[in-house]
A and B are shown apart, each in its own frame.
Chain A
């Protein structure tokens, strides 16, 4: 068994093999580039007349002012619906003193971590990692504009202020627009990072307001430029068919028949390298439309050698898990003396067994990539151009370079907007498949996975089981906590997305606590799925705390607050760790705003859950009723969230609302099973999703503490399922210990 999984290693682990560019002296790296424009000619006259200063200029890697006054701010992080293309530029605009109406956000034009930094997104980490860089980019642009204005207006710099896309004189009504100053500004010295001064929070005019997503117009007019919408000249459409049991090797296929089908241009047997994140064996078909290749593949007859393929069976895994005892073979976390407390006859000891299924990502935009590989000729190197929806341009670029032996200058990558990702587009096999089809056909190819491909060949949120034990003292205090996860191993290594996390609640806060792991081998690939680990651990742990509260006759909220103890950071010096004071803050706020303790009619109940993950403290209170037929209605969810200052209020609210609805969707109906290595659900008719009629009202309250802001794409999800399950217990007296609800005789 491997050692304890360090939570920060998991949290900070690079996506794919993304290049880690640290935030070195970034202003230096990304300083001025581009020509001096027309300023030189205008310089001699500027003291006498208003010089012609209007020009275009890059103030730094992230900011460019156009002659028409528009301010281009680049978004380096891929957009997948988490709102990052709006929130990061808001930080830049704030520090610059830009008027948001002048701002035009563009995706960084190339994957270049030297110039743009990380260019990856995931782990609800992007705001946190870019907060300082974006402030620096904005502040340095502002200082260069002020320097330019000081020259033009012949005023001391300290009498000048940038606001509303103008530099104003504090003591007169003189001002100059950013557009007028742009070209002179780009020749000003780049300020030293250490000299930059940032705006005080009380002076913010953009951060903390609500801005509609920068791509809203394009989205509502059908011009949203998703990867799947890519069209390039001479392009073919492609499909790629792999073995339904992962790892199967191709023996033969009727590709000669396929080539004769209408709209088919060519078909190929492709041998992979056995790496599920790169290239597995398959049949590629290219043709004149997506429909042509989707239709042709239905006629495929492929003989697979499945001797090495997955034989996974959810039934076998479940049978194995049920046989496991209270403590697993690998004890990964232990503090205090758990056994003494569990054996103390004066304590009340309870034990429960929880289950959570595999889930698919179900990004509404299926996996796709458009690739154009152009073989080199004499004196010209090979070139690969790609239109790529990915959470990590740099990670995918590295993979393509390594796999196809290309230097950085032999690739051009256009990172496309993603129709959802939730952790999915961190694995590059759909890119490799598209490259293969382009190489084989000699044409640009847009590979589109069908919905069935996307569900069958996912990196699933892995399912698993947890046996929990807890001891409560006679006066209702938690005496001991034990959790035993029965999770999966890929080969002999426990999966990265399962196990025990030392910093998690309540392991970390309990004086006597133990966490252990038993693994069962599964070859079904698993990967990050919105709030990985947390989305299952919250369910088992926060439901079980409620069970303990009930067993001891305690009020759930009071018990939670008591378990937090003194306000403190659980890992001193790590400000991304849990802080018990912040935890108590959100628990109290959710309880207060959601009306904890209100009397409820029969069949209706309130349930609460707290969870900490991705540096966010979140508590949710659900008001739920269950009728005699088992129909569940979640009337309202009240969420209290502490992620520090909010950047884009509208975006933040949207993320919390969406996480709650998504969490409920997963909890209600979703379950992936596999038998003989085959995924058994391949489209929405077998995988129920939450519809608008079941969407609860969601009431969100932010505690805007003074800590650095952190991300919200994930942490709103984990507390939802336990809050609803706890409320269902109050409403019905029936404890839900397995998801989804549909399997337990409920409907929504």
Chain B
């Protein structure tokens, strides 16, 4: 089986996998990173969202063979050591989750949004987050938490 080198959450990793295995399953089953979730397998729910070189991608559709040599960030690697990402902090403070299953994907999509647009409007949030489904219906708090995180990053920068 081919061996791929990928940078996952800042560390070099080797994966033995068929090259058409979606990154999601390589992460979950072969590398033990189960934070990225399987929801639909067809790019419709966003539960599997990770960053590929900083951009949000649906890992259920991305063959592991195509990410060889590139950098992946998953929910497990979003915090900076013990310091949570502003979005993770906001998610806790706003008590966003219900079942929580969609939330790693939601946070990864939101993190990519804030990266490119540090002060998103509701419309920006809606556009960036429309690919992430939440069966439990936590959308209202997702919006609130993204705004709160954007403000906290702002406040930290102002200091």
Contact = CB atoms under 8 A, between A and B. Distances in A.
Interface of A: 80-83, 210-213, 215-217, 219-224, 226, 228-229, 231, 237, 262-263, 288-291, 294, 362-366, 417-422, 448, 450-451, 650-651, 654-655, 657-662, 665, 683-685, 689-693, 695, 697-698
B98 A658 contact: yes
A211 B136 CA distance: 18
B4 interface: no
B15 to A, nearest CB: 11
Contacts of B45: 364, 684
Contacts of B104: 219-220, 222, 224
B47 A364 contact: yes
A421 B79 CA distance: 29
B138 A289 contact: no
A691 B130 contact: yes
Contact of A290 (B28, B33, B35, B44): B28
A221 B75 contact: yes
Q: Size range of the interface on B?
A: 35 or more
A683 B40 CA distance: 7
A419 B95 contact: no
A364 B29 contact: no
B34 A220 contact: no
Contact of B98 (A83, A212, A690): A83
A657 B137 contact: yes
B18 A262 contact: yes
B100 A417 contact: yes
Contacts of A262: 1, 18
Nearest to A363: B135
Q: Which residue of A364, A448, A659 has the most chain B CB atoms within 10 A of its CB atom?
A: A364
Contact of B141 (A362, A451, A654): A654
B155 interface: no
Interface in B34-55: 34-42, 44-45, 47
B158 interface: no
Given A221-B75, A222-B76, A692 B95 contact: no
B59 to A, nearest CB: 12
Contacts of B127: 693
Contacts of A683: 40-42, 44
5 contacts: A212-B93, A221-B78, A419-B102, A684-B133, A692-B139
A362 B21 contact: no
B38 A290 contact: yes
Nearest to B32: A231
Given A290-B25, A651-B95, A222 B136 contact: no
Contacts of B98: 81-83, 420, 654-655, 658
Interface in B72-113: 74-76, 78-79, 84, 87-88, 91-95, 97-104, 107
Contacts of B134: 364, 692
A211 B92 CA distance: 10
Nearest to A262: B18
B133 A689 contact: yes
B37 A364 contact: yes
A210 B95 contact: yes
Contact of A222 (B35, B92, B130, B141): B35
A226 B37 CA distance: 10
A695 B100 contact: no
Contacts of B135: 362-364, 420, 422, 662, 689
A652 B75 CA distance: 27
A211 B140 CA distance: 17
B29 A419 contact: no
Contacts of B137: 657-662, 665, 690, 695
Given A220-B84, A262-B18, A364 B141 contact: no
A220 B88 contact: yes
